[in-house]
């Protein structure tokens, strides 16, 4: 699975996603792209999932008709994220068009 990591995803998470083809937006020169433009660029480039640490992205984007899945974290601070790596990997493995990983609930919520 091709996964694009938004700028706000903690770098220490990357090694835990090893079974996937993982690329950071900055590696593609997409550091300045905002959510909608980033989703479109990622979709055109053949990415399967965008992982974002921007919890407001769900309210800013209409995912209807998109082929790329979106997984967003409700918190992107590594001290919290590191305790939930397995749940994030599970969310990515089963990603659907829009999913939220909520560390406080320790479960996926499909809005």
Residue 96 has what pLDDT? 55
pLDDT of residue 105: 35
User: Hey, what CATH topology would domain 2-109 get?
Assistant: Rossmann fold (3.40.50)
Please give the full DSSP string across 56-96, using - where no structure is assigned. THHHH---TT-SSEEEEES---HHHHGGGHHHHHHHHHT--
Domain map of the chain by residue range?
A: 2-109
Tokens 């899945």 correspond to 69
Query: Is the pLDDT assigned to residue 16 strictly greater than 90?
Result: yes
* pLDDT bracket for residue 34 (50, 70, 90): confident
């Amino acid at each position: 699975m091709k996964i694009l990591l938004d700028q706000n995803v903690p770098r220490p998470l990357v090694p835990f996603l090893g079974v996937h083809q993982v690329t950071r937006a900055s590696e593609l020169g997409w550091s300045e792209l905002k959510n909608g433009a980033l989703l479109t660029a990622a979709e055109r480039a053949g990415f399967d999932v965008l992982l974002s640490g921007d919890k407001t992205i769900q309210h800013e984007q209409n995912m209807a008709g998109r082929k790329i899945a979106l997984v967003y974290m409700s918190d992107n601070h590594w001290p919290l994220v590191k305790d939930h790596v397995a749940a994030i990997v599970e969310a990515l493995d089963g990603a659907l068009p829009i999913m939220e990983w909520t560390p406080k609930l320790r479960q996926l919520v499909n809005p």
